[in-house]
């Protein structure tokens, strides 16, 4: 009786750990395929990779631009600069760096990628699982993670940080324009204040957050898609699971990174 119980608990734990680490297999595949592609002058993998970078990154630029401009402008319009200054001298630069650059930019960009790409990938892969296309790949000796997953994770790895910087740049521009028109703060002063507050550490932490974000979003989407059972209801359930898990993990990890790097100040 106790043996059976222990066996069940042990089995459960090992399945859980395997489930967490299985998606990490994607990374070595991605690296080795890109290197081999390059070495053997093939375009197999690189072609899929560039296509995905286009889908994840380039196609998301308009949405990222609009979000960056509107959030940058709104943050200046809504913040009561005249009444609250927290005793900070350069309140405009502090607000941009602390609120938009460090926190909002990685979070909003991750949400944009979840809405645009994560949902699409989960639905596509779940549908392929249901139609037996994943089984087909396995039967002809192609690891589905290699063919469908690895280049996507790599594309996310590259695209999300770039999209975040793009978002941060346009929120800076719109914040600068609105500050000038509402409070008559010269643009060069706004930029100088921002650069005065921002340092290399902020930039590095932004990159860490976004690289982790890109990696997590795509791994979760691919893992959910590839592990779907052959049942139509899986499309909805796996997509919802993908979205919720991604958002939850991104928020928690962003919070943890912020607390661990900035809370001691």
Angle at 100 between CA 98 and CA 199, to 5 degrees: 50
Nearer Cβ to another protein, position 69 or 226?
226
Of residues 114-133, which lie at the interface with another protein (CB under 8 A)? 128, 131-133
Using the contact rule CB under 8 A, the part of the chain among 106-114, 139-147, 153-161, 179-187 near another protein is 139-147
* Cα 190 to Cα 202: distance, rounded to the nearest angstrom: 18
Q: Which two tokens stand for residue 96?
A: 């941009």
Residue 44 is a binding residue for another protein (CB under 8 A): yes
Nearer Cβ to another protein, position 133 or 202?
133
Helix, strand, coil % over all residues of the chain, rounded to 5: 85, 0, 15
Nearer Cβ to another protein, position 100 or 228?
228
What dihedral angle (degrees, nearest 10) is formed by the CA atoms of 213, 164, 107, 117?
Answer: -60
Q: Which two tokens stand for residue 21?
A: 């680490």
Nearer Cβ to another protein, position 142 or 229?
142
Angle between helices 44-56 and 150-183 (to 10 degrees): 30
Site string for another protein, 75-114 (x = CB under 8 A): ----------------------------------------
Site string for another protein, 140-179 (x = CB under 8 A): xxxx--xx--------------------------------
Site string for another protein, 11-40 (x = CB under 8 A): ----------------------x--x---x
The correct pick among 138, 201, 236, 260 for binding another protein (CB under 8 A) is 138
* Cα 59 to Cα 116: distance, rounded to the nearest angstrom: 9
* Cα 93 to Cα 65: distance, rounded to the nearest angstrom: 21
Q: Which two tokens stand for residue 26?
A: 């994607």
Yes or no: say if 156 and 51 are a contact pair by the CB < 8 Å rule: no
Q: Which residues bind another protein (CB under 8 A)?
A: 33, 36, 40-42, 44, 128, 131-133, 136-143, 146-147
């Amino acid at each position: 009786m106790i043996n059976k119980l222990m066996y069940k608990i042990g089995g459960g734990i090992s399945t859980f750990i395997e489930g967490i680490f299985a998606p990490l297999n994607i990374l070595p595949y991605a690296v080795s395929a890109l290197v081999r592609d390059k070495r053997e002058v093939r375009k197999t993998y690189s072609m899929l990779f560039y296509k995905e970078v286009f889908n994840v990154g380039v196609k998301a630029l308009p949405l990222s631009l609009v979000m960056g401009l509107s959030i940058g402008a709104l943050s200046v319009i809504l913040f009561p600069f005249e009444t609250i200054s927290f005793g900070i001298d350069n309140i405009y630069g502090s607000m941009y760096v602390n609120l938009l650059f460090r926190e909002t930019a990685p979070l909003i960009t991750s949400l944009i990628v979840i809405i645009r790409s994560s949902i699409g990938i989960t639905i596509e892969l779940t549908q392929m699982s249901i139609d037996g296309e994943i089984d087909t790949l396995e039967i002809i000796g192609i690891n589905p993670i290699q063919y469908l997953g690895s280049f996507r994770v790599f594309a996310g790895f590259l695209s999300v940080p770039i999209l975040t910087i793009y978002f941060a740049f346009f929120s800076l521009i719109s914040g600068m324009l609105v500050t000038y028109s509402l409070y008559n703060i010269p643009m060069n002063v706004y930029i100088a204040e921002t650069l005065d507050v921002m340092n290399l550490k902020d930039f590095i932490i932004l990159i860490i957050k976004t690289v982790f974000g890109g990696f997590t979003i795509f791994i979760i989407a691919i893992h959910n898609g590839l592990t779907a059972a052959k049942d139509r209801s899986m499309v909805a359930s796996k997509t919802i699971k993908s979205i919720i898990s991604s958002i939850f993990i991104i928020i928690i990890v962003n919070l943890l990174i912020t607390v661990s790097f900035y809370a001691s100040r």
